[in-house]
Amino acid sequence: MAGRSYACGRQARETLAKLASAGTVSCSGWERDRYGRVLARCEVEGRDLGQTMVEMGWAVSYGDYAVEEAAARHARKGLWAGRFQTPSDWRQQQKAPQETRHDWLGLVFNFLKQIAGMV
């Protein structure tokens, strides 16, 4: 924003709220994160909200939407129009647990963790 700080998180939240208000939100998922929360893919009227947020530059991909993130970066959309601290960098700075990437290796790793936890 012209070299000035701004509340990019608030802008991202407002964008997601606007997208979600366009219809009925439906979510599906089975994978769980390290805190036991279900990782879900949510849609409104068939539109993937995560993918749309990454395409618009208001969310960072953790492996799911790498192509969409690259396009948003190249076009300098949303967060990519300036500088910002990624959530993973913030967690590292705060010494908080890192998220597992959502690529195929991360899916396998999370699946194995869930099976081991059920035994």
CA–centroid distance for 1 within its chain: 22
57: left (phi over 0), alpha (psi -120 to 50) or beta: left
Distances from the Cα of 77 to the Cα of 14, 17, 27, angstroms: 16, 18, 26
Residues 45-81 pLDDT 10s: 999 999 999 999 999 987 789 999 999 999 999 999 9
> CA 99, CA 97: separation in Å to the nearest integer?
7
The pTM is what?
0.73
Residues 7-57 pLDDT 10s: 888 899 999 999 999 999 999 988 777 667 788 899 999 999 999 999 999
CATH code, residues 8-118: 2.40.50
pLDDT confidence band for 116 (50 / 70 / 90): low
